[in-house]
Amino acid sequence: MAKNDIHEAVYEGIRKTIRRFRERPFLYFTEADVHASCVRDMMVGASNIFEIRPVDHVSVSLVHQEYPTNFRYEKQKLLEGYEDESITNVDSTDGDRGNFDLAVLNPDFVKSMFDQYYCKSEQKNTEHALEDTLKHIINKDVTGAVQRRNMAEQHAQELLYAVEFKFIHLFNARSINLLKEIIKDTEKLRLARHHSGGNLRVLNLVFCATRAMERRRKGYEKMPVVNRIKKYCAGEKVEIEGKGFKTPPNVFTAFIPSFLGKDGLKHTEKPTCGYEGSDMVLTHWAENKKLT
């Protein structure tokens, strides 16, 4: 399969979910609803693109939710920002591995694992050979990730996409913790791209189903959290308790609002996108020509 086909299918799936959310935001109650919608929109009509058969009797999907990271981190330190990324190596003793909300595997990685651990195995065509291979692809066992890190080129090209989602609704719209979580997700994606040697495309998608509501604070802290998130996703600097935050380069961010206004009518604003990088695929998305 051509990589361009995968890129187009990922793009179209995300676009479909964004379009549906903008048209009917109250189909979605939770962040998990958005995850499920995006996976479905990617897969319907494109399952042949995201399914490969590395050997005759085995089919593997490239699209997965809650896929493990190949690096370690501490959640609170994500908010501070890691200046020394080497301490987040997968074989480090600091922190734990996390998961991506949605990941798209590189078909070359899947094939290489079968070539290396299955096709060359003396136990070929046995359950042990297949299990050893799938352990690397499923990536739950950290020892496999550590082994692959020594094969730098393979380790850096295991995924094509990593996507994080956030869902803003009536009950969390005033919580500053929501902005903090979005910043942490962006930093996690930055680390993911770093550990991929710049090969991974990373996206942070924020869906907003509520109007902006002021907080019971003074000065800058009175600004609605929703407005700060929108500014952050556009690549502008925002503050939390006097500390400034800005989206890092090479992480695509999008803020997608559709909500009921005070007038009781649905308001659907154009998505706000931010991206500073050289990847032509993500640059095209950030230009917002076809996003909706």
Q: What is the pLDDT of residues 194-246, one digit of tens each?
A: 999 999 999 999 999 999 987 776 766 778 999 999 999 999 999 998 899 99
Mean pLDDT score of the chain: 89
> Comparing 36 with 214, which gets the higher pLDDT?
36
Query: 68-72, 90-94, 112-116, 276-280 — which is least confidently predicted?
Result: 276-280
Quote the pLDDT of residue 283.
Answer: 80
Which pair of structure tokens corresponds to residue 226?
A: 């929703």
The stretch 94-118 carries a mean pLDDT of 92
As beta bridge partners, residue 266 has 260
Query: 50-59, 65-74, 103-112, 250-259 — which is least confidently predicted?
Result: 50-59
Which pair of structure tokens corresponds to residue 158?
A: 């295991």
pLDDT band at 163, cuts 50/70/90? very high
pLDDT reading at 292 higher than 70: no
pLDDT reading at 121 higher than 70: no
pLDDT band at 253, cuts 50/70/90? very high
Q: Are the C-beta atoms of 137 and 63 separated by less than 8 Å?
A: no
pLDDT reading at 290 higher than 60: no
Query: 12-21, 68-77, 117-126 — which is least confidently predicted?
Result: 117-126
Quote the pLDDT of residue 124.
Answer: 54
**CB-based burial, 198-235: b 16+ in 10 Å, e otherwise:** eebbbbbbbbbbbebeeeeeeeeeebbbbebbbbbbeb
Quote the pLDDT of residue 126.
Answer: 63
pLDDT band at 288, cuts 50/70/90? low
pLDDT reading at 161 higher than 90: yes
Kindly provide the residue ranges of all beta strands, DSSP E only, lying in 140-191, ordered along the sequence. 159-168
Domain-wise residue ranges, the chain: 3-286
pLDDT reading at 113 higher than 60: yes
What is the CA angle 263-269-271, rounded to 5? Answer: 155
Q: What percent of the chain has pLDDT over 70?
A: 92
